[in-house]
Structure 1
């Protein structure tokens, strides 16, 4: 008698949870570890231990943003707006780094520069706003979501969690956010008006995320090569990270990001645009982040340079391996992609 066939459902469940676990881990690594600025950069075991706090703080949000977007049948505009909203929540309400305008005289060179782009009346530094909120949008949430979905293209447009899973993600984020808030709120210089303003902006961004809808793609025109897309976005990500924290630097930064958004919107409406192009945009962000880590001086004075560069190289190698795997899986799923 032939054996009964094994149900496919358990396999699909394992695939979904593997994708969730991957996003839980990649999000904090992309947000905090790839750039290599932390004191724990020279202590790999501490990097692993740090994920116990950072995965619930960053990874759960990435999972929830992605889950909400796919469940409601929306696309990347919603992901980006929700990412911006939670970037404001994280930097403005949880750790309140957005309102920390004090210069650390004992920090490395990049942390001791005077803040010259303070916005009058708001107590917010424009360069820090781009760094914190923009960084969350790109590296904490959007890029990890795109890369993990590319690693699992068969289930990229489906829900990954049930009600219990969503509840677990929310609970983990609330717990980690409370821990971070309790650790940083006592030293925060944010006033009530600033906190209320951040909350209002976050709510407005969330509302916009569920109002905007992606435009339908026209039939004329063809999307450029994904290599070109990755190259152009990589240049902009480099500029975003390297431009000086001056009004001129902020202006160029904003113009470059807005121009890139306009260009990607036009390209994404053309025939042939697919997941490989999305992976090129996200992958270039991770490569730039990991590559620039070799130039970053970590916090603290006891970071051994040999270990630091070894960690930087390991991170860059890990990013390369992950992107190669994602590209292979996307190519199998979309063999006709350019």
Structure 2
């Protein structure tokens, strides 16, 4: 999980070429440390998947907010300002980037790696680390994230305002508290059947693929950024409500969780080829060859997780 999180978040997406695969050790303390911490805290305190998702949102805001400051720095994307990206008035913040941050890190940086690795050890709903191990991972996460934040600040010559740091920190703390409050609630299972895992997986693939096709669905034009931002709420609001209702039914199984994660993983596999075509300093053949390797690794991991689930789950 420690290395799978940065592999999915950076390499499968096509943000990093295969020639820079060694940088996974640079990303692992933040990505992997965050994923392991969230999984361990959730299992240690019985938060369930609702708690994991909310903690993943907090992680996404922390990474793109106080750590690398992308949410506050238009220069991060070579922009003069956030105008034209659904800028939130008075906050110097792009709603478009905020939505993207929540989506990418919640689904792919955290939840998908956790679901895949847990499928390889089915039935294990307890912590894997003792207190000393959990403390060590927390230290690695904090130190690694701090160093990456310093490198980003020096590289972009940008530091967010104190107000932006304070507001983002308050929101992150609120989300963490909310994860523990909501995650520990128990609900009586709902009656009714859940679609087959294949249908659940295809649903996850379709919803996440539609998210990545946003620029095709809403080409640049007057007001398009706000139409796109509104569509995000419709898409993921509807999908979340449906998935939560399925997951609360007694017939929901680990196979459904793995299928949902696999559907999202396959979306990153194809989206990574589009990103790889835009890599600076890397030839197109090498970029595409690298993402072919990454996609095959991802598919192989999903198949292996399914095999482990089948072999260790009683019929």
TM-score higher than 0.5: yes
Mapping for residues 36-51 of structure 1, pairs under 5 Å: 36-38=14-16, 41=17, 44-47=18-21, 49-51=22-24
Q: Which moved more, 1:229-238 or 1:182-191?
A: 182-191
Inter-partner Cα distance in structure 2 for 1:61 and 1:51:
14
The answer (yes or no) to whether the contact 1:34–1:312 under 8 Å persists in 2 is yes
Q: CA deviation at 1:217?
A: 4.2
Provide structure 2 residue ranges, at least 5 long, that are not aligned to the other structure.
Answer: 216-223
Q: CA deviation at 1:86?
A: 1.5
Matched, 1:291 2:270: yes
2:263 alignment partner, SS class: helix
1:96 alignment partner, SS class: coil
Aligned to 1:11: none
Inter-partner Cα distance in structure 1 for 2:20 and 2:150:
21
Inter-partner Cα distance in structure 2 for 1:162 and 1:79:
19
The answer (yes or no) to whether the contact 2:43–2:126 under 8 Å persists in 1 is yes
The answer (yes or no) to whether the contact 1:77–1:214 under 8 Å persists in 2 is no
Match of 1:174 among 142, 156, 170: 142
Matched, 1:261 2:232: no
Aligned to 1:134: 103
Tell me the TM-score normalised to structure 1 length: 0.84
Tell me the TM-score normalised to structure 2 length: 0.90
Aligned to 2:290: 311
Q: Assess, with a 3 A threshold, how the Cα gap between structure 1 residues 114 and 291 changes in structure 2: closer, same or farther.
A: farther
The answer (yes or no) to whether the contact 1:70–1:157 under 8 Å persists in 2 is yes
Mapping for residues 60-79 of structure 1, pairs under 5 Å: 60-79=33-52
Q: Assess, with a 3 A threshold, how the Cα gap between structure 1 residues 270 and 131 changes in structure 2: closer, same or farther.
A: same
Match of 2:29 among 56, 76, 83: 56
Q: Assess, with a 3 A threshold, how the Cα gap between structure 1 residues 24 and 179 changes in structure 2: closer, same or farther.
A: same
Match of 2:54 among 59, 68, 81: 81
Q: CA deviation at 1:298?
A: 5.0
The answer (yes or no) to whether the contact 2:51–2:180 under 8 Å persists in 1 is yes
The answer (yes or no) to whether the contact 2:277–2:284 under 8 Å persists in 1 is no
Q: Assess, with a 3 A threshold, how the Cα gap between structure 1 residues 267 and 214 changes in structure 2: closer, same or farther.
A: farther
Q: Assess, with a 3 A threshold, how the Cα gap between structure 1 residues 280 and 194 changes in structure 2: closer, same or farther.
A: same
> Aligned pair count?
304
Q: Which moved more, 1:257-266 or 1:246-255?
A: 246-255
Question: Once the two structures are superposed, what CA deviation does each residue of 1:152-189 show, in whole Å capped at 9, x if it has no partner?
Answer: 214x3121111221121011112211211211234225
1:179 alignment partner, SS class: helix
Matched, 1:157 2:112: no
Inter-partner Cα distance in structure 2 for 1:285 and 1:194:
31
Q: Assess, with a 3 A threshold, how the Cα gap between structure 1 residues 121 and 323 changes in structure 2: closer, same or farther.
A: same
Inter-partner Cα distance in structure 1 for 2:298 and 2:188:
31
Match of 1:247 among 206, 214, 226: 226
The answer (yes or no) to whether the contact 1:223–1:273 under 8 Å persists in 2 is yes
Question: Once the two structures are superposed, what CA deviation does each residue of 1:214-263 show, in whole Å capped at 9, x if it has no partner?
Answer: 54343521111111111111111112222138211121122111111100
Inter-partner Cα distance in structure 2 for 1:265 and 1:215:
13
The answer (yes or no) to whether the contact 2:30–2:145 under 8 Å persists in 1 is yes
Match of 1:325 among 304, 307, 310: 304
Q: Assess, with a 3 A threshold, how the Cα gap between structure 1 residues 300 and 147 changes in structure 2: closer, same or farther.
A: closer
Q: CA deviation at 1:300?
A: 5.0
Matched, 1:100 2:73: yes
Q: Assess, with a 3 A threshold, how the Cα gap between structure 1 residues 122 and 296 changes in structure 2: closer, same or farther.
A: same
Inter-partner Cα distance in structure 2 for 1:266 and 1:104:
38
Q: CA deviation at 1:301?
A: 4.0
